[in-house]
Chain A
């Protein structure tokens, strides 16, 4: 058989990402500059952003990782290459943000205070490609999924450092933040309270319900169809449908402090939606305890309560925590929708931006919601793997 053909292309995934970066750099606007909040901006290509950056060496250094990303498809794969690839992805992602901030500052020096410099489509594509490149590098190194979180964390840390240094202040999203600083803080707090506020009744109702459903076939048969139907109802519809009865109730009993709008219907609806994942995963977790283990525990003389607390709960914990993860991530998103019925939170900033056609406000609301959901997801994934390693069980 003939010797294998010499290949110049070693990594097709990297090629795809490199092509995305190259295409975005050359054809899509990196930034968008508008004279004020309401007018749409003109695009600034990557080259334009570079030319304007005064400390040119830094500008090129920020792009060097990008060059690495373009080169990797043609390098022979090895652990070193994958490690460099991951690092390049993280650095490029942070570098693009740095470049955007620097150019925004440069433009701000020569234009009116009302001018807006925002991220363009090219920025988003390159940023996504950079992060995917970093994650692909980590994956090729064969590292466990927790490292993907580390990659995100590293990029976030570098961006946070830039934020703290004030380097990104001239970008429109941060100018918007500057205008809304108190509102933003209050919104984040409110958003967290909505989620936490729903979590308590969900756990108080859902966990016992799950335990009951695990023990009794009849409870199971009754509970799940109802919860499934609730889950199917679109969130905005459920929020809307709760408004009228709660308003009526508020009218009848003003002293209770409930109303048809605001956080109360939001928390009630959030609780309804959170019940299914919690109940379902409690049931699944308990179902997953091998009957032999239960029997052995009873045989050793443990009371029912001891069996539950010392045997069933630890073994069901990973699956339960998985359900908690789903619940919380879902709740973060639903709380954003709840802003439509006046519940406040980050969704309020987001929808305010949508209704007023202030796109940076939209981002100021939407991006933190996404980051919050991802952070909650990552935190609970770590909790699950911790539970798995402590109890030696596999999660759902």
Chain B
């Protein structure tokens, strides 16, 4: 029932909703970190420079998100396509090897994959991007295949029998039904990549890990905390966001 009182309550719920709070906290930290300079100066009186000022935290956050976002997008495009391909009749023979690679690859520690990218491709954001994309591919491929496999055969049969073309079956039936599982894979990939992107500062990419690395190398704990707090908040925001998306993707199941 929709009424004035209900609508107001909905607005207030929005304010206390944990995703909103997390986003607010993140924005506050990113934009307001310079305001906390006196606090850090007080906590760490021995430091000359209690605030990381070589780059703006906003720029670092944007760069970090760009690296994570781009690698995830590429991984979704390539990974979902690969997952779709191996669940079609024409691609079925590649499925075994693809699943084996995806499972095995996930035992490789992401930091090691990132490091190995350097001897092969050099330093900078590009090798980091490739390493992150490759690593994100694994759970996405695995989950795309699992999600598509879980679509009941009767749904596929009736869809084809009613006259849907293979493309229509894929986009109107299979993918919407596989979406929750695929989304879970994307979530895993993104959360891992947020952490790995921070470490990517050691291979020449500019991300939120930079204050942390600079702080660790120069024994500046304030820098470390500033970088750590923001990147942790970013990860939490993304996690809550995916939680929300996951709930939306199974709305029909909760009816």
Question: Once the chains are docked, how many angstroms separate the CA of A15 from the CA of B67?
Answer: 34
Which partner residue on chain A sits nearest B201 by CB separation? A236
Interface pick from B48-56, B73-81, B99-107 = B99-107
Given contacts A236-B209, A367-B116, A374-B104, contact A244 B221 (CB under 8 A): yes
Q: Smallest Cβ distance from A52 to chain B, in angstroms?
A: 22
Instruction: Determine whether the beta carbon of A229 is less than 8 Å from that of B236.
Output: yes
| Cβ–Cβ < 8 Å partners of A350 in chain B | 111-112, 115
| Cβ–Cβ < 8 Å partners of B4 in chain A | none
| Cβ–Cβ < 8 Å partners of B212 in chain A | 236-237, 240
Instruction: Determine whether the beta carbon of A244 is less than 8 Å from that of B96.
Output: no
A12 close to B (CB within 8 Å): yes
Instruction: Determine whether the beta carbon of B100 is less than 8 Å from that of A337.
Output: no
Question: Once the chains are docked, how many angstroms separate the CA of A12 from the CA of B92?
Answer: 10
Instruction: Determine whether the beta carbon of A340 is less than 8 Å from that of B213.
Output: yes
Within 8 A of A (CB), among B146-185: none
Q: Is the interface of B mostly helix, strand, loop or mixed?
A: helix
Instruction: Determine whether the beta carbon of A234 is less than 8 Å from that of B198.
Output: yes
Instruction: Determine whether the beta carbon of A139 is less than 8 Å from that of B100.
Output: yes
Instruction: Determine whether the beta carbon of B94 is less than 8 Å from that of A13.
Output: yes
Contact of B116 among A132, A244, A362 (CB under 8 A): A362
Instruction: Determine whether the beta carbon of A124 is less than 8 Å from that of B120.
Output: yes
Question: Once the chains are docked, how many angstroms separate the CA of A229 from the CA of B236?
Answer: 7
Instruction: Determine whether the beta carbon of B115 is less than 8 Å from that of A329.
Output: no
Interface size for A (C-beta < 8 A) is: 54
Instruction: Determine whether the beta carbon of A359 is less than 8 Å from that of B107.
Output: no
Interface pick from B26-34, B137-145, B224-232 = B224-232
| Cβ–Cβ < 8 Å partners of B217 in chain A | 355
Question: Once the chains are docked, how many angstroms separate the CA of A16 from the CA of B97?
Answer: 11
Contact of A240 among B93, B94, B203, B215 (CB under 8 A): B215
Instruction: Determine whether the beta carbon of A373 is less than 8 Å from that of B109.
Output: yes
B199 close to A (CB within 8 Å): yes
Contact of A260 among B94, B97, B221, B232 (CB under 8 A): B221
Question: Once the chains are docked, how many angstroms separate the CA of A8 from the CA of B113?
Answer: 38
Which partner residue on chain B sits nearest A119 by CB separation? B119
Q: Smallest Cβ distance from A354 to chain B, in angstroms?
A: 5
Contact of A13 among B97, B213, B227 (CB under 8 A): B97
Question: Once the chains are docked, how many angstroms separate the CA of A289 from the CA of B35?
Answer: 54
A275 close to B (CB within 8 Å): no
Instruction: Determine whether the beta carbon of B195 is less than 8 Å from that of A377.
Output: no
A118 close to B (CB within 8 Å): yes
Instruction: Determine whether the beta carbon of A132 is less than 8 Å from that of B232.
Output: no
Q: For chains A and B in complex, what number of residue pairs have CB atoms within 8 angstroms?
A: 140
B202 close to A (CB within 8 Å): yes
Per-residue 0/1 for B33-63: is the Cβ within 8 Å of any A Cβ (1 yes, 0 no)? 0000000000100000000000000000000
Which partner residue on chain A sits nearest B118 by CB separation? A362
In this complex, the member of A236, A341, A347 whose beta carbon has the largest number of chain B beta carbons within 10 angstroms is A236
Which partner residue on chain A sits nearest B193 by CB separation? A234
| Size category of the binding interface on chain B | 35 or more
Q: Smallest Cβ distance from B171 to chain A, in angstroms?
A: 26
A39 close to B (CB within 8 Å): no
| Cβ–Cβ < 8 Å partners of A354 in chain B | 115, 118, 202-203
Contact of B216 among A118, A136, A232, A240 (CB under 8 A): A240
Per-residue 0/1 for B200-214: is the Cβ within 8 Å of any A Cβ (1 yes, 0 no)? 001100000100110
Per-residue 0/1 for A333-370: is the Cβ within 8 Å of any B Cβ (1 yes, 0 no)? 11011001100000100110111010110110111011
| Cβ–Cβ < 8 Å partners of A244 in chain B | 43, 221, 224-225
Question: Once the chains are docked, how many angstroms separate the CA of A37 from the CA of B175?
Answer: 51
| Cβ–Cβ < 8 Å partners of A341 in chain B | 216
Q: Smallest Cβ distance from B164 to chain A, in angstroms?
A: 27
Question: Once the chains are docked, how many angstroms separate the CA of A236 from the CA of B230?
Answer: 12
| Cβ–Cβ < 8 Å partners of A329 in chain B | 107, 109
Given contacts A333-B112, A340-B216, A374-B107, contact A243 B224 (CB under 8 A): yes
Instruction: Determine whether the beta carbon of B120 is less than 8 Å from that of A148.
Output: no
A162 close to B (CB within 8 Å): no
Instruction: Determine whether the beta carbon of B225 is less than 8 Å from that of A241.
Output: yes
Q: Smallest Cβ distance from B227 to chain A, in angstroms?
A: 7
Q: List 10 A-B contacts (CB under 8 A).
A: A118-B119, A132-B100, A232-B239, A234-B198, A236-B195, A244-B221, A247-B221, A336-B112, A366-B115, A373-B107
Given A233-B232, A235-B195, A362-B118, 14 more pairs with CB closer than 8 A: A139-B100, A240-B215, A240-B227, A241-B229, A329-B109, A333-B111, A340-B199, A351-B202, A355-B217, A359-B118, A359-B119, A362-B119, A370-B112, A370-B113
